[in-house]
Structure 1
Amino acid sequence: MNLTSLLILGALSAFGPLAIDFYLPGFPSIAQAFGTDEAHVQVTLSAYFLGLSIGQLVYGPVADRFGRRRPLLFGIVLFTLASVACGLAPSLPWLIGARFLQALGGCAGMVLARAIVTDKCDTIGAAKAFSQLMLVMGLAPILAPILGGLLVNTTGWRWIFFCLALFSGLSLAAVALGLPESLPAHHPRHPLSGALRRYASLLADGVFVGNALTGGVAMAGMFAYIAGAAFVIITLYGVPAEHFGWVFGTNAAGFVLVAQVNARLLARFGPAPILARAIAVHAAGGVALVLVALAHPAQLWPLLLPLFVCVASLGCIIPNASACAMNGQGHRAGSASALLGCLQFCIASFTSWLVGAFANGTAVPMAAIIALCALCAAGLCKATQAHARRRAVAAPGPAASFRD
């Protein structure tokens, strides 16, 4: 894939994390503006995750029927309008509803970026492209909280959403001018009436579901961190909102760096072996994190060390789990990408809600959920790779060996 396409796809993939990370420093200000607490403001995050889950299931079959470009343009327009509605929100219920609509638009870029990569790349190439996209989209969690904190303290939290509208407007122009249709005209165009049947066949594929859940459960731990980070870092440990982004961005930088190392290792080791080792590191970091949180350290840095390991290791886990799941999906790549994203964000919406539901004034709920997700992902990875090896013995071939 050429550099221009990767930059545009990276921007589209960044819609999700940007719309999350940009407004995290504004949680205390939003709570104050609407006369509520941060636990209720976290519902706006859960609503966003729910919208991402539902919307992806719609875009996948539509993209397999009509191509990638038209659904993508529609989603970006919806995201832009919903971002303006968020900035104008007169109440918390309005903001929750607008965030849900914003997610319905933003998930188009996430689904279709994966599908476009699958259209254009072979399996190893797709894993490398996903890792390179992490570099582009990784700038979002590094820069967004820093800029969000500055906006909160200068112009107010509403301007966060107006800036998101500007970003999506620029992305709309980039897609319209620089991203042609990637689904070849000769590929089968599945009717929308068969969408449920395609989803059922994907759900019956143990390797697809196992890899999707491995990446999804691990990523859900990251969203538990996102949901609890503002409280732990700003409220509990007293880091100023304008400095929140530097702490948050350090973990994001680790994620991006590991993703680039992953891209270099792929040709030598393959996605599945790297995934297994990265999951083990991730689980060890999760266990260390919850042990530190239970000790209630007086300073923030003991928590940050295992947290860095947990977040950085996802730079290997997410691209390799996605590539293993998407391998061999071919003309149903849109539906496969949609179901992959839906499974991931359904779990993410649940874990982000759990952080607020079990809030007790400490870092323990966030840490415990991250650790639980890491251990579950490790178990899923082991079971999925064992199933893939049995499948490879029964029906050897390139697709099977890729998943070993």
Structure 2
Amino acid sequence: MAQADRRSGPQETEPTLLLGIAFGFLSSLGPFAIDLYLPAMPGMAQAMAADSGAVQRTLSAFFLGLALAQIPLGTLGDRYGRRRPLIGGLLLFAIASIACAMATSLDMLIACRFLQGMGACAGTSSVRAMIRDRHSGHRAAQLMAFTFLIIGISPVLAPLAGSYLLQAMSWRGLFLLLAGGGAVALIAVSIFLPESLPPQRRLHRQPMLHAYGRLLGTPAFLGWTLVAGLATTVPFAFVTAAPFIYTQGFGLSAHHYSLLLALNAVTSIIATQFAPSLMRRLGARPLVTGVALVAMGATALIAMAGLTMPVPIALFQPWSMLLFALSGFILTPAAISALDAAAGGAGAAAGLLGTLQLAITAAASAAVSLLPSVSILPLTGVLGVSFLTMLLVMLALGGRASPASA
């Protein structure tokens, strides 16, 4: 056991700015593929003679692809190194993006978005494993937070870029731009990104079921993974409903609501950068508990207001900004605590973390898409259940020390 821990343990070196930028760029491909075409969704629904819920399911398909590919990519990374699975995933992302641009029906687009999500997950899963290869605890949180900073730029720039680009091209052109981004990432990784898992630390003989069985038998890993998934649910469930709430509920143009989405993302970016220091000062569990309490209270208040009157945008927008900020406080501590609680290969842990996290996100986005798209009540219901579940998990973990809080 000691030998296994030594072989899979992180390298305690200082995080570098260049590495954080590279990891952030790779991790941002997936979020950018989500946010860039948000302004086009109402127009896509009209062009394909589909309702809003059907177009929203292209998001759920993308999330499902992200979730299902995490485990095989994590296992391949533990056995063969991080670079080869990453390169293969980026290649799939570029090809699937071209296929999305050529889709002739909504069903074909949904299938291609699923494949695009599978390719995009290579960036997210491989980056988390690479961070765990090098760091743990507070240093890993610092690098993870900086990675989230780069990822957070996507919700700021992508909807705005999408709304401007739609004036010059159709939604198909947006997917061709995503294909170009995947090709750039593929070339950059092939030339510049070094391998983080040397051959002597790879787990060539560990059976896949054994590795994931150990992770599933670790309550702290499962608890923190659930919290990370619920934290991710906040922004992604919101962006699933937001295009129709903003346009049909509040009567805003695609450009105007893209500005509001960008404002939400800015609050999340700022909060994420404070998360490592707050986690070190307060501990992961007290931080997440306090944040979840505030979020649940705010969501309950706006839901009660929505039951008695139409909620004005002057109330809806501050609430949404608050939730984006609070999710930023939660995500880094939850992800790092889950990885620190795991034993065995970092790739397996990152893969299972990503699978469960994104499966929760896909389920929440699907629930939002199946409910009425103009009212805010379905969104507040999904998010309220998410925050309540976080609190219950924190209570269950109350007797267990958080690895990241040390």
**TM-score, length-scaled by structure 2:** 0.92
Q: Does the 8 A contact of 2:279 with 2:333 survive in 1? A: no
Q: Does the 8 A contact of 2:36 with 2:174 survive in 1? A: yes
CA-CA distance at 1:327 after TM superposition: 0.5
Farther-moved stretch of structure 1 (347-356 vs 218-227): 218-227
Give the Cα–Cα distance (whole angstroms) in 1 for the partners of residues 70 and 219 of structure 2.
21
Structure 2 partner of 1:91: 105
User: Does 2:366 correspond to 1:353?
Assistant: yes
**SS of structure 1 residue aligned to 2:184:** helix
User: Does 2:400 correspond to 1:388?
Assistant: yes
User: Does 2:226 correspond to 1:210?
Assistant: no
Structure 1 partner of 2:61: 47
Structure 1 partner of 2:12: none
Give the Cα–Cα distance (whole angstroms) in 2 for the partners of residues 280 and 184 of structure 1.
43
User: Does 2:379 correspond to 1:366?
Assistant: yes
**SS of structure 2 residue aligned to 1:14:** helix
**SS of structure 1 residue aligned to 2:252:** coil
CA-CA distance at 1:89 after TM superposition: 1.0
The match for 1:275 among 270, 278, 288 is 288
User: Which amino acid in 1 is paired with 2:347?
Assistant: G
Cα distance per residue 1:134-164 (max 9 Å; x no partner)? 1111100111111111222331211111111
Structure 2 partner of 1:133: 147
The match for 2:176 among 162, 186, 189 is 162
User: Which amino acid in 2 is paired with 1:66?
Assistant: Y
Alignment CA distance shift 1:296-1:95 (3 Å) = farther
- Show structure 1 runs of 4+ deviating over 6 A: none
User: Which amino acid in 2 is paired with 1:24?
Assistant: L
Give the Cα–Cα distance (whole angstroms) in 1 for the partners of residues 394 and 302 of structure 2.
21
Give the Cα–Cα distance (whole angstroms) in 2 for the partners of residues 376 and 328 of structure 1.
20
Alignment CA distance shift 1:102-1:330 (3 Å) = same
Alignment CA distance shift 1:320-1:360 (3 Å) = closer
Structure 2 unmatched runs, 5+:
1-14
Give the Cα–Cα distance (whole angstroms) in 2 for the partners of residues 5 and 291 of structure 1.
45
Structure 2 partner of 1:7: 21
**SS of structure 1 residue aligned to 2:349:** helix
* Aligned positions of 1:127-206 closer than 5 A: 127-191=141-205, 194-206=207-219
Structure 2 partner of 1:20: 34
User: Does 2:356 correspond to 1:306?
Assistant: no
Q: Does the 8 A contact of 1:128 with 1:263 survive in 2? A: yes
User: Which amino acid in 2 is paired with 1:111?
Assistant: S
User: Which amino acid in 1 is paired with 2:120?
Assistant: G
Farther-moved stretch of structure 1 (161-170 vs 294-303): 294-303
CA-CA distance at 1:190 after TM superposition: 3.5
**SS of structure 2 residue aligned to 1:154:** coil
Q: Does the 8 A contact of 1:120 with 1:182 survive in 2? A: yes
Cα distance per residue 1:51-91 (max 9 Å; x no partner)? 11101111010100001001001101100111111111111
CA-CA distance at 1:353 after TM superposition: 1.1
Structure 1 partner of 2:351: 338
CA-CA distance at 1:330 after TM superposition: 6.1
RMSD: 1.7
Structure 1 unmatched runs, 5+:
390-399
User: Which amino acid in 2 is paired with 1:62?
Assistant: L
User: Which amino acid in 1 is paired with 2:35?
Assistant: D
Q: Does the 8 A contact of 1:224 with 1:355 survive in 2? A: yes
Percent sequence identity is: 33
User: Does 2:255 correspond to 1:245?
Assistant: no
Give the Cα–Cα distance (whole angstroms) in 2 for the partners of residues 191 and 351 of structure 1.
37
Give the Cα–Cα distance (whole angstroms) in 2 for the partners of residues 281 and 153 of structure 1.
40
Alignment CA distance shift 1:401-1:351 (3 Å) = closer
